[in-house]
Amino acid sequence: MHSGMQSPRGVWWKPAHRSEKVWFSIAFAWCLVLFAMMPFWHWKGGQNPSGIRSRVDPADFRARVSEFIAAYKVGEENGYPIVEPPPGSDIYMMGQMWSWTPILKLKKGVEYTLHISSVDVNHGFTLYPINVNFQVVPGYDYGLRVTPTEAGEFRIICNEFCGIGHHLMLGKVIVTDQNGEIPGETAVSGKATP
């Protein structure tokens, strides 16, 4: 019988071999490097939000989105409004279970301030196939400064589980080129909604 009160049997307490010490030192040094990278990427990585965060009541945000749609609506697709705001303006995207409203029609090379928020639970904004990811949190308005760099049609996918309809939570951004045209169907064509 063995208990914690007795010394363990065996030879595990022999001094560590030199190679073991070397590997331990390398691993420890690497831990410190990775630790230092966290603040480093915060300043140098370019992945931080490009805008200003402010608080917003979900009901107020919904009202602003409705105003925005009413002002610049140019069409409709599967019941979702297509909105073409003037270049350089403040634009709005509302996440809710389980849709992204409206469909934005933007111009390539023009900077907009994208106000994005949720009116119910957390959602995740992913622009596909571009690597853009953003947490969309109710009660906060993120004024992100965005400049579309590529013309085409892009899907918005929700990447934060938000209930039974999470996988159906799709949206769309249309980017026109300098001539106001959309280049032929992209890799993300298809007839998903909206």
Interface contacts to ligand CUA, rule CB under 6 A: 98, 123, 158, 160-162, 166, 169
Identify which of residues 169 and 175 has a Cβ nearer to ligand CUA in the complex: 169
Which is closer to ligand CUA, CB of 107 or CB of 123?
123
Least distance (Å) from ligand CUA to the CB of residue 169? 4
**Tally of CB atoms within 10 A around 120:** 13
* Least Å from the CB of residue 120 to ligand CUA: 9
The smaller minimum CB distance to ligand CUA, of residues 90 and 120, is found at 120
What gap in Å lies between CA 3 and CA 151, rounded to an integer?
A: 71
- Number of CB atoms found within 10 A of residue 74's CB: 11
**Alpha-carbon dihedral sign for residues 168, 100, 137, 111:** positive
Nearer to ligand CUA, 27 or 164 (CB): 164
CA distances from 115 to 52, 94, 108 (A): 9, 8, 18
Q: How far is the CB of 138 from ligand CUA (least distance, A)?
A: 11
How far apart are alpha carbons 3 and 107 in whole angstroms?
Answer: 73
Q: Rounded to whole angstroms, how far apart are CA atoms 100 and 81?
A: 11
Nearer to ligand CUA, 69 or 119 (CB): 119
Shortest separation between residue 157's beta carbon and ligand CUA, angstroms? 8
Q: Least Å distance between CB 134 and ligand CUA?
A: 12
Q: Tokens standing for 14? A: 């022999």
